[in-house]
Structure 1
Amino acid sequence: MKDGHGRVIDYLRISLTDRCNFRCVYCMPEEGVQQLSHFDILRIEEVEQAVRVATTIGIKSVRLTGGEPTVRKGLVDLVRNIAAMPEIENVSMTTNGVLLPRMAADLKAAGLSRVNLSLDTLDAEKFHKITRCGSLDDALCGIDAALESGFNPVKINAVALRSLADGFLDFAKLSIDRPLHVRFIEHMPIGDVSEVDGISWGKDGVISCEEVFNIINEGARAQGLGELVPAGEDKPIGWGPAEYYHFPGAAGTVGFISPLSRHFCSKCNRLRLTADGKLRPCLFSDVEYDLRTALREGTEEDQRAVFLQALGAKPDEHHDKVGTERGMSQIGG
């Protein structure tokens, strides 16, 4: 199914919960957000029905997000039921990875194809400042668990900030010895956080992926690693907009996602479903369509109509709009 701008929309990102075991400064306040009530949040069977209807308009790939999706009860069964739908080609998940050591094997057996792990720094002190309560060792154990369980690819998503530039090369080097795919994502200032413990999350903290690329190459040359070169056919499977490179002979890749400096809106292929059942045509827009009511009170055709309404409302691009009424934990990463 194509939207009004001729783009094929075949990817649905679903936030399963607004709850999280971290309190990352760019995602939610330290005290957390006012959590959705049990009535407000979609039930697992409603999420399944939403996916089933989404397949009728051409959705083939589903990504489960949060908050933190691994804290949602029923996750493994949900993955199994979505993966069993004939029209679904791929079920993936974005997670902070902390609970993967106890869940990765079950998720893999249920049909989860791949995982993206959110990790913004390899400095233990900075990690704790950013997450407010997390342990870097726990996050690294999550990466190990993903690899040991056979997920392929395993991607690491790092939000690029100017104040974290001294760690970019160390991040990139994770891709040398193991099949890890490190992706730097330009920070999108959503919300009102400006600076926490010396780490700037406002507009002055934004750094372009081109600058990140140059910083990594400069450090790599100094260490005799060789520069990043285009990955070509070696890039990992995925439906995202990353541009991939690798160090010569590396087991993994280094990717760059540039939503601000190099708009990829013309290639957008997704819709978003929030944990409280709202369909969002665009991350940067506050326009939402109420799917929850249709799921609970309407017919399948009513539900399909909401999807088509959201599909028809996708904008041509975000027009450099930053900031939304909802925070990232409420929208879904």
Structure 2
Amino acid sequence: MDTNSSSTTALIDRFGRRIDYLRLSVTDRCDLRCSYCMPKGYKGFEEPDNWLRFDEITRVVAAFSRMSVGRVRLTGGEPLLRRGLPQLVEQLSTLPAVRDISLSTNATQLHRHAQALRAAGVDRINVSLDSLDKACVEKITGRDSFGSVMAGLQAGKRAGFTPIKLNMVVMRGVNDHEIPRMVQFCFEEGFILRLIEAMPMGETGRNSQYMDLGPVRDQLVRDFHLQPAAIEIGGGPARYWQTADGRGKLGFISPISQHFCATCNRVRMGVDGTLYMCLGQDEKFELRPLLRSGISDAGLEEAIRNAIELKPEKHEFNENRHKIIRFMSQTGG
């Protein structure tokens, strides 16, 4: 392995955007079947032999980190289904330029792993929870998972993750009536709620009762006397508002009604080592064949730079809603 010819030049795409955030899928498996993410009966999972090993993942993250990518988020599927995940976190946390390791989870397994993940180096977590109604959660996820998610949230608080963000995909006629209740719950519990527009990825995403969050935001600003947040919260696309005392915070992710393509700072890597440049476009670049053919560190960095050159200017969810046929779970969230 060639370890002495790395580059420290920042990763800039052809539209002048600095890429400093890698979303990293460690599995495409999940124990839930959320209606907007993975269809019931789905069998198109990647073969485990094609999953990147922990040493391969660490090599890729190290290459990104030498190019000033300091934020890493572990995703899935459900990342807590990947055995030995704290071991991977420990490896990533030793990389000098990695300054922030976070985790996206459905929290059904979090009560078992929260302490170990926090000790290994996970700083903060995002938890998917679309409803506070047990029956609605079961309808959306395909499983009676509400109790285990709530137990996971409390375990996350005890472990000391900060912040803990709750992701609520808003679906018209499904859970939109619960938004005020969810806001109040998060303010009381010290969580940061993020309301998300459903993205039309695969047949599941296109059938998710899309709802424009603009009017929702305006109503919540009035009802809860919110003002724009004074500081950045994480490195993602959410636009945040807060209560006057700053104790309650609320984020909006609106890729359809108010896209954030001009400031997109991330790429995604699937469990098989495929880099995805955009959720709403087809451009991708496969790293696994290069890693398993003995590519040098310098060659790996060059390959990543070549991949970033494929990153498109914007998605086409508004113009071409049927373009992307892969499901969210295949891309890494």
Counterpart for residue 256 of structure 2: 260
SS at match of 2:64: helix
Alpha-carbon distance between aligned partners in 2 of 1:3 and 1:137, rounded to the nearest angstrom: 43
Shift in alpha-carbon separation, 1:47–1:180, aligned structure 2, 3 A? same
Mapping 1:316-331, distance limit 5 Å: 316-319=313-316, 320=318, 321-322=320-321, 323-331=323-331
SS at match of 1:13: strand
Alpha-carbon distance between aligned partners in 2 of 1:251 and 1:241, rounded to the nearest angstrom: 21
Alpha-carbon distance between aligned partners in 2 of 1:296 and 1:76, rounded to the nearest angstrom: 24
Equivalent position to 1:137, from 147, 150, 171: 147
Equivalent position to 2:292, from 280, 296, 316: 296
**Structure 2: unaligned runs, 5 residues or longer:** 1-10
Q: Which amino acid aligns with 1:96?
A: N
Alpha-carbon distance between aligned partners in 2 of 1:92 and 1:123, rounded to the nearest angstrom: 27
Post-superposition offset of 1:32? 3.0
Comparing 85-94 with 143-152, greater Cα deviation is found at 143-152
Counterpart for residue 105 of structure 1: 115
SS at match of 1:155: strand
Alpha-carbon distance between aligned partners in 1 of 2:203 and 2:184, rounded to the nearest angstrom: 32
Post-superposition offset of 1:109? 0.5
Alpha-carbon distance between aligned partners in 2 of 1:80 and 1:114, rounded to the nearest angstrom: 15
Identity of aligned residues (%): 37
SS at match of 1:193: helix
**Structure 1: unaligned runs, 5 residues or longer:** 195-200, 221-225
TM-score when scaled to structure 1?
0.91
1:92 and 2:102 are equivalent in the alignment: yes
Alpha-carbon distance between aligned partners in 2 of 1:170 and 1:251, rounded to the nearest angstrom: 17
| Count of matched residue pairs | 318
- Deviations, residues 94-133 of structure 1 (Å, cap 9, x unaligned): 0001111111111001010100001111111110011101
Counterpart for residue 206 of structure 1: 210
Q: Which amino acid aligns with 1:330?
A: Q
Comparing 248-257 with 275-284, greater Cα deviation is found at 248-257
Alpha-carbon distance between aligned partners in 1 of 2:280 and 2:21, rounded to the nearest angstrom: 17
Q: Which amino acid aligns with 1:54?
A: F
SS at match of 2:50: coil
Mapping 1:240-259, distance limit 5 Å: 240-249=236-245, 251-259=247-255
SS at match of 1:25: coil
Equivalent position to 2:64, from 54, 67, 82: 54
Alpha-carbon distance between aligned partners in 1 of 2:67 and 2:230, rounded to the nearest angstrom: 31
Alpha-carbon distance between aligned partners in 2 of 1:287 and 1:228, rounded to the nearest angstrom: 39
Counterpart for residue 223 of structure 1: none
Counterpart for residue 165 of structure 1: 176
Alpha-carbon distance between aligned partners in 2 of 1:272 and 1:193, rounded to the nearest angstrom: 20
Post-superposition offset of 1:214? 3.5
Counterpart for residue 306 of structure 2: 309
Mapping 1:109-188, distance limit 5 Å: 109-163=119-173, 164-188=175-199
What root-mean-square deviation, in Å, do the aligned CA atoms of Structure 1 and Structure 2 show? 1.7
